[in-house]
Amino acid sequence: MASTSTRTDRLLTAFATTIIVLLSACSGEDSPPVAVQPPPVGPRFASANALLEHYNQIAMREPKADRAGIFALLYAETPIQERLVRVYKNSLPLMELDAICWEKYGAGLRADSKESPFAPARNSTIMAESGQDRAKARVKQNNGQNMDLYLVKYNGRWWISGYTLEYDREFNRADVDLDQVERGVRYLSASAPKVIAEIESGTGLDFAAAGEQAPYIVYLRLLAYVFDDFPEAQNMRDFFGIPEN
């Protein structure tokens, strides 16, 4: 998975078979209830190898990787994974703002970022282990680090397991406050569309006039919206990288 400004959620619920009861026949006799069968599994999700092939197609897609499509492949197996998936999913508007900064100003919201969050993967993800209900793949990310992709079969189809996120070194650290990360990403992503609209319409601040500092000015504008829309975020200034007064 590619990192965001705070490496930040995504949530997919398990599918369940629903039951419906047919209306009474014209004769007035009651028809027995009929269980609706789950929809057939698409070929992209019918096997671990097929899912991995589909993942590679959208992760390596030019000119931009399909992040939303990747997020849709995630399945949370535990409560902690539900939160991590939600963080990744909620981060999409923030990633879009970061990508616009790369497109227009040649740099991202984070000074240490090397490429857009939508940069296509340069290496294919390769299957490493394969079983009946679980599999594991591995890829060398664009930043040079190896990442394991855990796959799981659930409800007749294959998913990217939430263990991919739970075992991510970005979150699997003692100093990560997931409550704070979840709140911070929610605040930033809720305000990001306002800044995107300003950039695309050319209204408001002339970000390009700031030259190489443009992404930083964009970030400050984003925080201005965050602090205005969510006053409680003022208590998280350190999280947002803003020194206390």
Question: What residues does 20 pair with on adjacent strands?
Answer: 34
Range of the domain at 83: 19-236
Does residue 6 lie in a domain region?
Answer: no
Task: Tell me: pLDDT of 19 over 50.
Answer: no
pLDDT at position 192, please?
98
Does residue 211 lie in a domain region?
Answer: yes
Q: How confident is the model at residue 18 (pLDDT cuts 50, 70, 90)?
A: very low
Taken in order 71, 89, 222, 192, the sign of the CA dihedral is positive
What average pLDDT does this structure show over 227-238?
A: 95
Does residue 142 lie in a domain region?
Answer: yes
Q: How confident is the model at residue 5 (pLDDT cuts 50, 70, 90)?
A: very low
Does residue 229 lie in a domain region?
Answer: yes
Task: Tell me: pLDDT of 40 over 90.
Answer: no
**Calpha distance 173→104 (Å, rounded):** 34
Question: What is the number of domains present in the chain?
Answer: 1
Check: pTM over 0.75? Answer yes or no. yes
What average pLDDT does this structure show over 32-51?
A: 74
Q: What is the pLDDT of residues 197-228, one digit of tens each?
A: 999 998 878 899 999 999 999 999 999 999 99
Per the structure block, which two tokens stand in for 57?
Answer: 């197609």
For residue 168, what are the contacts with CB-CB under 8 A and spacing of at least 6? 1, 84, 147
Does residue 171 lie in a domain region?
Answer: yes
Does residue 8 lie in a domain region?
Answer: no
pLDDT at position 127, please?
98
Does residue 98 lie in a domain region?
Answer: yes
pLDDT at position 111, please?
85
Q: What is the pLDDT of residues 63-122, one digit of tens each?
A: 999 999 999 999 999 999 999 999 999 999 999 999 999 999 999 999 889 999 999 999
Q: How confident is the model at residue 8 (pLDDT cuts 50, 70, 90)?
A: very low
pLDDT at position 39, please?
57
Does residue 244 lie in a domain region?
Answer: no
